């Protein structure tokens, strides 16, 4: 089995990968890294969640000249969230390198703050097309000396309508650049773009994941719309997730469930398109640092979300199709970690659930929490699965890493006072349920 060193990655970056719990390259990394290191143009067809960020960023960092003060690498991303995520992942690799600077540029962020950071001799810029064009027109970003250009999730940039902006940006870069194109699909327009701007590219294809990962234990719970809120809280109290992502169909629904959980004193926040960029960044930072236990989100807002330590995904509303189902529950059970995916479904959702099962050729175990005789069985099953996730080395590692010594002492004190989630001591009028205030 190849490791990163065999792929040509130096010891310093190997050490950083190990510090972040990454020892074995994913298929896309294994296939793409040698070609990128050699300077070839690469077309990589791979889904989100396959490790493509490190597939292009590791070799870019290896080829970087820290002494050069110009921008050497540009990564274009379709959304602010993805741009920020790529920048954060890159900064993990260069956290002890004062001579390498990474900057994320995107709409909704203070331009003056970005201009101030650009004065620090930034070598790597990650951004969205609109804001990058704004900087180019201002003359505050010069792409004339870049050696590597990455188009990440190119099909999504096409879908959003960014293709003209992307071409305008490409024209600002030198013809000698290396171009790397990563896309989940290859529509005709993206193929045309590749033919126009790439030089004899190597094509790397990773088979699409048509089924959920085996590390994710799935469960479908039959309920009614009226009972769903109570059963969501019962599920949280029974499973006691470390980090849980709760998917709802609409922004209005997300806000409603967020307010219900907050009223019941859960450590929760919401993520949807109506939030300001500053608020979305704040929410994601707190979720990544495990300061928020539950995150209620829409599909669009959570696209490409990759957070270490998500133990549970809860489909409060059933996904619209099999692809959405795989994408949603793929937020857990990543990088060898165990995860749990629970889907609520009503009588009206039954056909949709069966369609998802037929498409994916799977059978999802089903429970009915409304049936009294099954309550003990259901809780026992949930406890068994949750203990399996709780004992995962990667979860234990993330828990320890995400809390300071003082926070761990506080959690220990909460355990001693009556529960993992900091319940009030027995007899308190405020002790109205388990699993709250972690």
Position 49 confidence tier, pLDDT thresholds 50, 70, 90? low
Query: Under CATH, which number does the domain 216-402 receive?
Result: 3.40.50.300
- Tens digits of residue pLDDT in 162-201: 999 999 999 999 999 999 999 988 899 999 999 999 999 9
Query: What pLDDT is stored for residue 178 in this prediction?
Result: 98
Please choose, from the candidates 316, 344, 320, the residue with its C-alpha nearest in 3D space to the C-alpha of residue 221.
Answer: 344
pLDDT of residue 102 exceeding 90, the answer is yes
Q: Which residue has the tokens 């969230």?
A: 81
Position 302 confidence tier, pLDDT thresholds 50, 70, 90? low
Query: Per-domain residue ranges for the chain?
Result: 11-205, 216-402
pLDDT of residue 261 exceeding 90, the answer is yes
Check if 11-205 and 216-402 are the same fold.
yes
Query: What pLDDT is stored for residue 366 in this prediction?
Result: 94
Angstrom distances, CA of residue 247 to CA of 54, 167, 306, 381 = 27, 35, 15, 22
Main-chain phi, psi angles of 294, to 5 degrees: -120, 135
pTM score of the predicted model: 0.61
Please choose, from the candidates 241, 236, 210, 435, the residue with its C-alpha nearest in 3D space to the C-alpha of residue 337.
Answer: 241
- Tens digits of residue pLDDT in 339-362: 999 999 999 999 999 999 988 889
- Tens digits of residue pLDDT in 387-415: 545 544 444 444 444 444 444 444 434 33
Main-chain phi, psi angles of 180, to 5 degrees: -120, 125
Position 208 confidence tier, pLDDT thresholds 50, 70, 90? low
* CATH architecture entry for 11-205: 3-Layer(aba) Sandwich (3.40)
């Amino acid at each position: 089995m190849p490791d990163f060193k065999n792929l040509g990655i130096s010891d310093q970056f190997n050490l950083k990968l190990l510090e972040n719990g990454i020892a074995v390259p994913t298929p896309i990394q294994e296939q793409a890294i040698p070609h990128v290191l050699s300077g070839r143009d690469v077309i990589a067809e791979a889904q989100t969640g396959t490790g493509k960020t490190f597939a292009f960023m590791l070799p870019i960092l290896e080829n970087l000249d820290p002494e050069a003060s110009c921008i050497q690498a540009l990564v274009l991303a379709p959304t602010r969230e993805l741009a920020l995520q790529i920048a954060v992942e890159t900064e993990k690799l260069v956290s002890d390198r004062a001579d390498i600077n990474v900057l994320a540029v995107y709409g909704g962020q203070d331009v003056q703050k970005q201009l101030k950071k650009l004065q620090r001799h930034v070598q790597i810029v990650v951004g969205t097309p609109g804001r990058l064009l704004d900087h180019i027109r201002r003359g505050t970003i010069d792409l004339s000396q870049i050696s590597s250009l990455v188009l990440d999730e190119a099909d999504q940039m096409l879908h959003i309508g960014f293709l003209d902006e992307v071409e305008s940006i490409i024209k600002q870069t030198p013809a000698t650049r290396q171009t790397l194109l990563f896309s989940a699909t290859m529509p005709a327009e993206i193929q045309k773009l590749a033919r126009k701007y790439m030089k004899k590219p190597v094509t790397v294809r990773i088979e699409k994941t048509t089924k959920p990962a085996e590390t994710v234990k799935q469960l479908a719970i039959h309920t009614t719309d009226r009972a769903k809120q109570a059963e969501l809280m019962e599920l949280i109290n029974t499973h006691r997730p470390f980090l849980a992502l709760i998917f709802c169909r609409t922004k209005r629904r997300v806000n409603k469930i967020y307010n219900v959980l907050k009223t019941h004193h859960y450590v929760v926040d919401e993520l949807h398109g109506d939030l300001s960029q500053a608020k979305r960044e704040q929410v994601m930072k707190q979720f990544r640092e495990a300061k928020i236990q539950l995150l209620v989100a829409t599909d669009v807002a959570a696209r490409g979300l990759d957070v270490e330590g998500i133990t549970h995904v809860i489909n409060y509303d059933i996904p619209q199709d099999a692809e959405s189902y795989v994408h949603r529950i793929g937020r857990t059970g990543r990088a060898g970690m165990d995860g749990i995916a629970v889907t609520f479904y009503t009588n009206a959702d039954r056909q949709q659930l069966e369609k998802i099962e037929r498409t994916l050729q799977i059978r999802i175990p089903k429970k009915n929490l409304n049936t009294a005789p099954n309550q003990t069985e259901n809780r026992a099953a949930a406890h068994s699965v949750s203990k399996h996730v709780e004992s995962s080395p990667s979860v234990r590692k993330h828990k320890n890493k995400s809390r300071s010594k003082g926070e761990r002492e506080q959690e220990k004190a909460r355990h001693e006072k009556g529960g993992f989630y900091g319940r009030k001591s027995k007899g308190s009028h405020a002790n109205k349920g388990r699993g709250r205030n972690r």
